[in-house]
Structure 1
Amino acid sequence: MPLPPRVPLPAAFLRAPLAHRALHDRTARRPENSRAAVRAAVAAGYGIEIDVQLSADGRAMVFHDYALDRLTDRFGPVRQRRAAELGAIALRDGDEGIPTFREVLETVAGRVALLVEVKDQDGMLGPDVGPLEQAVADDLRGYAGLVAVMSFNPHSVAALARLAPAIPRGITTWGYPPDHAEGLPRATCDRLRAIPDYDRCGASFISHHWQDLGRPRVAELRAQGAAVLCWTIRAPAEEAAARRVAANITFEGYAPPIPPPIPSL
């Protein structure tokens, strides 16, 4: 069955820089992917990038890691705990628990652009996906704000195309160096490095690692009309280099300027 046609990425995703895991700052008690970090990004006028994982009871939770260890004082996989239990687990250096995706949508309330990375649930970027994508689609139903979805796993992007066909979708990409590929088979790295699934997924953008933006495939997709975002910028000099190719950046650790709005005619 063919996928729905690609949905263009709205211009708002190409204007204000996107705060990586929201505008987090542990010294200010705003952990990554926390509601406090989301509120801070909205107040500053930045777009927001967040990550979602699946709870034991099928809810989309805003959390980057597969395990709780780094970001909380608990241990073990996020997926083994129910949403209510996860919501009661305090994030390190913060005052709140792990939020659901729906809670973050309510916090953003359409005031800034929201880019949602759906974390791979297969473990090897393979086809064992569906429940998290369904949870994301369910939460997005009726949301009127600007939102786009992406994943490293092309199977996830294809599932999102079927479940939320009106939402812009993209692929999170990079060079897949073998020594940093988190145990992926070399054949998988070699395949995904070429970004072969862009058209198959009906994607309209990529978010590519900023140090690999010179890759010919990135230039090819850009020439074909793909919007090119990049991750993760941590200094003005990196931003200047990335913007030679990328239309927008995902950033953390500094405060990039926000271009003024385009005046209406």
Structure 2
Amino acid sequence: MTRPALPAGFLRLPVTHRALHDRAQGRTENSPAAIRAAVAAGYAIEVDVQLSADGVAMVFHDDDLDRLTAERGPVCARTAADLGQMELTGGTDTIPTLGAVLGMVAGRVPLLIEIKDQTGAMGETDGRLEAAVAQALAGYGGEVAVMSFNPHAVAQMARLAPDVARGLTTSAFDPDDWAPVPAEVCDHLREIPDFDRVGATFISHQDNDLTRPRVLALRAAGVPVLCWTIRTPEQEAMARRYAANVTFEGYLSALPA
């Protein structure tokens, strides 16, 4: 299995969580305005993707539209055209496709794409979202990587886009925080047993769980450990004792000189 290394830019530039969003400035999370701001500032960018009803990868975090738009219901029940007309709350942007975001970034900064779980329980996926991501990435020349909490999604990306760096988004997987994911699945995922099976080359781990022995062992073995989500400079200083880089929001992480 091909295991592409995480591009160097992801270890050099702090990563904006859902792009450089700021509601006070009219930049909603994962919005074109937030993406343009991150590119202009010179930060790496993390975005999330969900699947439209007609099989297009959309840059949007939640399963449902309720929190971030005036619409209601699941993202996957709407077509890309419908989603592309929905205004994001807190700004004037609408929901972009992954292809549109790739065009905005155009290789100027690294782009980290989190593939959201489509099963509700971290189960086997049908591969539709992963195929849409792979299709959008075909021919893209910039620094890019994909990741997911669902190892099955990462395994699909290994099959569909073997030359794209891939990793696992990981956490303490407290079952109280992860319902309706079954507790036994949380117990399985917590120790990151699928890292080699899916051909991962990095993880992005929950910031307050970075001293977990499995995470420290991966780090000691040379695996790049990113972390999420840092919200203050003080948290960043603590996280960088264990993590190679941070995913941040709510303040401006210091860029390298």
TM-score of the two chains, using structure 1 as the length reference: 0.96
Q: Is contact 1:176-1:190 (8 Å) kept?
A: yes
Gaps of 5+ in 1: 261-265
Structure-1 separation of matches of 2:107 and 2:61:
22
How much is the aligned-residue C-alpha RMSD, in angstroms?
A: 0.7
The one of 182, 188, 196 equivalent to 1:199 is 196
Structure-2 separation of matches of 1:40 and 1:128:
33
Matched, 1:221 2:218: yes
The one of 125, 141, 148 equivalent to 2:122 is 125
- State the number of aligned residues: 257
Q: Is contact 2:114-2:147 (8 Å) kept?
A: yes
Residue of structure 1 in register with 2:83 after alignment: 86
Residue of structure 1 in register with 2:67 after alignment: 70
How far off its partner does 1:146 sit?
0.5
Matched, 1:255 2:252: yes
The one of 224, 244, 249 equivalent to 2:241 is 244
Secondary structure in structure 2 of the residue aligned to 1:145? coil
Structure-2 separation of matches of 1:21 and 1:42:
13
Secondary structure in structure 2 of the residue aligned to 1:90? coil
Matched, 1:106 2:90: no
**174-183 vs 79-88, which moves further:** 174-183
Q: Is contact 2:120-2:180 (8 Å) kept?
A: no
Structure-1 separation of matches of 2:228 and 2:126:
24
How far off its partner does 1:118 sit?
0.2
Secondary structure in structure 2 of the residue aligned to 1:207? strand
Q: Is contact 1:175-1:209 (8 Å) kept?
A: yes
Structure-2 separation of matches of 1:9 and 1:204:
7
The one of 148, 154, 159 equivalent to 1:157 is 154
Secondary structure in structure 2 of the residue aligned to 1:51? strand
Structure-1 separation of matches of 2:58 and 2:211:
34
How far off its partner does 1:178 sit?
2.1
Residue of structure 2 in register with 1:182 after alignment: 179
Structure-2 separation of matches of 1:180 and 1:16:
30
Residue of structure 2 in register with 1:235 after alignment: 232
Q: Is contact 1:129-1:155 (8 Å) kept?
A: no
How far off its partner does 1:165 sit?
0.4
The one of 23, 45, 48 equivalent to 1:48 is 45
Gaps of 5+ in 2: none
How far off its partner does 1:5 sit?
2.1
Secondary structure in structure 2 of the residue aligned to 1:5? coil
Runs of 4+ in 1 over 2 A off after TM superposition: none
Residue of structure 2 in register with 1:263 after alignment: none
Q: One-letter code of the match for 1:86?
A: L
TM-score of the two chains, using structure 2 as the length reference: 0.99
Deviations 1:169-226 (A, max 9, x none): 0000000112211222111011000100000010000000000000000011112221
Q: One-letter code of the match for 2:131?
A: Q
Secondary structure in structure 1 of the residue aligned to 2:114? strand
Q: One-letter code of the match for 2:248?
A: F
Secondary structure in structure 1 of the residue aligned to 2:187? helix
Deviations 1:33-84 (A, max 9, x none): 0000000000000000000000000000000000000000000000000001
Q: One-letter code of the match for 1:50?
A: V
Q: Is contact 2:166-2:202 (8 Å) kept?
A: yes
Q: One-letter code of the match for 1:89?
A: M
Q: One-letter code of the match for 1:143?
A: Y
